């Protein structure tokens, strides 16, 4: 079993030589097999949490710790984090012109698994995973994310997740910009990955609608750069009904 432990994490961003604290003491433990929904209003710091764990240079950890099975994640390079079993799907996935989807995936799988997947198995694996996600086989030869629609990028995130089989996956607003059908396909993809019971998932979302397809084991309300309440999936139902007003004092629709 794998465990990601975030302890009293404080993160700052510096703009115009002024540092601003964005995360103010995040505590969270995710074990493999568990799905944790992180829900909160816009600007509460959810993406900052995923960037900090991913090792984005703009986000400075000023105190606290992040460990994966006791290993210090914050000491690792971005590559080492992936090899250690962390998967970080960014809210705005990058485009990689000139690198085909299939090459990108095979390189990533080689890096994470420590050896190149056998070509024949690999081609079959990719084909099946693409079919599961209703991705046109022609996409395998297209450049990574170049000219992909929002929904196509999200499907490719989940394709990577399905093929790389990380220990812990952080999915930031995987539901944003998806129409009803794409949301269902992407959610089913995440649920298939969950079924294996080996992956721990941090599912970051603003809206409750993805949680109608994916029932989280735990829900955490994020506000003002920290977790202000934790509970089971019923907490998402309360948010759906009442929004985040109880946590922010500001009226905002939850869905």
Q: Which secondary-structure segment (H or E) carries 153?
A: helix 150-164
Token pair recorded at residue 230: 């934790």
Nearest-approach distance from CB 173 to Mg ion, in angstroms: 6
Q: What angle do CA 232, 30, 180 make, to 5 degrees?
A: 60
Q: Applying CB under 5 A, which of residues 35, 47, 205, 208 lies at the interface with Mg ion?
A: 47
Q: Which is nearer to Mg ion, 42 or 251 (CB)?
A: 42
Nearest-approach distance from CB 215 to ligand ADP, in angstroms: 22
Q: Which is nearer to Mg ion, 108 or 228 (CB)?
A: 228
Binding mask 19-58 for ligand ADP (x = CB under 6 A): ---x-----------------x-xxxxxxx---------x
For residue 4, give the nearest of 27, 35, 29 by alpha carbon: 29
Nearest-approach distance from CB 102 to ligand ADP, in angstroms: 31
Nearest-approach distance from CB 46 to ligand ADP, in angstroms: 3
* Interaction of residue 42 with Mg ion, rule CB under 5 A: yes
Contact 108, 96 (CB under 8 A): no
Total binding residues for ligand ADP by CB under 6 A?
A: 12
Residue written as tokens 């056998």? 118
Piece of 40-48, 64-72, 115-123, 175-183 that binds Mg ion (CB under 5 A): 40-48
Q: Applying CB under 6 A, which of residues 2, 9, 13, 171 lies at the interface with ligand ADP?
A: 13
* Interaction of residue 15 with ligand ADP, rule CB under 6 A: yes
Read off φ and ψ for residue 237, nearest 5 degrees: -65, -40
CA pair distance 219, 211, nearest whole angstrom? 10
In residues, how long is the chain?
A: 255
Read off φ and ψ for residue 132, nearest 5 degrees: -55, -30
**Cβ partners under 8 Å of residue 197, min gap 6:** 32, 33
Residues that bind Mg ion (CB under 5 A): 42, 46-47
Residues that bind ligand ADP (CB under 6 A): 13, 15, 22, 40, 42-48, 58
């Amino acid at each position: 079993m794998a465990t990601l432990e975030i302890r009293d994490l404080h993160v700052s961003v510096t703009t115009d030589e002024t540092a601003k604290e964005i995360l103010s003491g995040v505590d969270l433990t995710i074990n493999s097999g568990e799905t944790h929904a992180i829900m909160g209003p816009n600007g509460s710091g959810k993406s900052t949490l995923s960037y900090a764990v991913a090792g984005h240079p703009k986000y400075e950890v000023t105190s606290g710790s992040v460990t994966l099975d006791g290993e210090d994640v914050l000491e690792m390079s971005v590559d080492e984090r992936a090899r250690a079993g962390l998967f970080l799907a960014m809210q705005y996935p990058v485009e990689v012109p000139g690198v085909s989807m299939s090459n990108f995936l095979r390189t990533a799988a080689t890096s994470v698994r420590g050896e190149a997947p056998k070509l024949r198995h690999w081609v079959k694996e990719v084909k099946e995973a693409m079919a599961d996600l209703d991705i046109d086989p022609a996409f395998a030869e297209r450049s990574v994310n170049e000219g992909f629609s929002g929904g196509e990028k999200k499907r490719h995130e989940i394709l990577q997740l399905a093929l790389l089989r990380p220990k812990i996956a952080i999915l930031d607003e995987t539901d944003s910009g998806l129409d009803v059908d794409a949301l269902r396909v992407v959610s089913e993809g995440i649920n298939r990955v969950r079924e294996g019971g080996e992956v721990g998932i941090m599912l970051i979302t603003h809206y409750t609608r993805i949680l109608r397809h994916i029932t989280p084991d735990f829900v955490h309300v994020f506000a003002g750069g920290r977790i202000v309440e934790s509970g089971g999936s019923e907490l998402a139902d309360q948010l759906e009904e009442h929004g985040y007003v109880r946590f922010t004092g500001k009226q905002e629709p939850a869905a």
